[in-house]
Chains A and B, each alone.
Chain A
């Protein structure tokens, strides 16, 4: 698996779309000498919710983190291949990672609000990217972002209180509000509900559904039911390979690939 011939892999289903938001071609990811992702080809459509499922260690999170270059923070991680956001190669030298991450936001597994006030949390992105000029504009942006995440009524009276005082589900929605305050085009979600109880999970899922009107959302999830509920397309990863991409309804009733079938029916984990 070293630098002999470059391995190619044919993904089952329909990985390609017309007019995609993001395009990934022949993406390989290495951690030092170990290859984590093998020749992934996929399109991510505009304003679609696409979920990435697969057993632990299958590379789905690694792949997700390629999409906004979060893997850059790991020294030994190397990404090859072509990854486009619309027409821009996001691994191009001329691309500024900071700008990229403003366009491709991210929500993490564990709710990770900053240890600051609720207000400051949502304001942070706007501040560092200089999105607003006046305090009034900023206030408006924050209210709007919190509204969209259904948090406004819950927190409007305590914007100055620490964000860490919110419940887990509220914290995660705050993190989503923080991400959308920058108005990104794509939001990456890395198992956003794995630390939440079922009710909070349902709230976040509902939010994802509403956000899909305006944002492209890529969600990595361990819960197949969640993938089935929230996404319109589903990608199945197995041992670093993208096995199948199909409409979610197809994947969950009649997957094309044997491995997909085995995974979603609970035969491999």
Chain B
């Protein structure tokens, strides 16, 4: 598996660290216990195309949003995650 970083180009997997599913969003501070429980512990654990967060620690140190098929490891898209990095490339 190789990931094409939008900042650095195609790099080998060992440069990247995995966080997980990009879908869960941190609930608002006043959200109830159920929302926090759901965010911290429950996962869709998708078998198929999944959007996920990777960190390019061995390169530009940007957070990336990678669209990857968990059944085949095929990567269909890599974009900067929301935040400062995304602003730099106008994403």
Q: Do A and B come from one complex?
A: no
Give B residues with C-beta under 8 Å from A: none
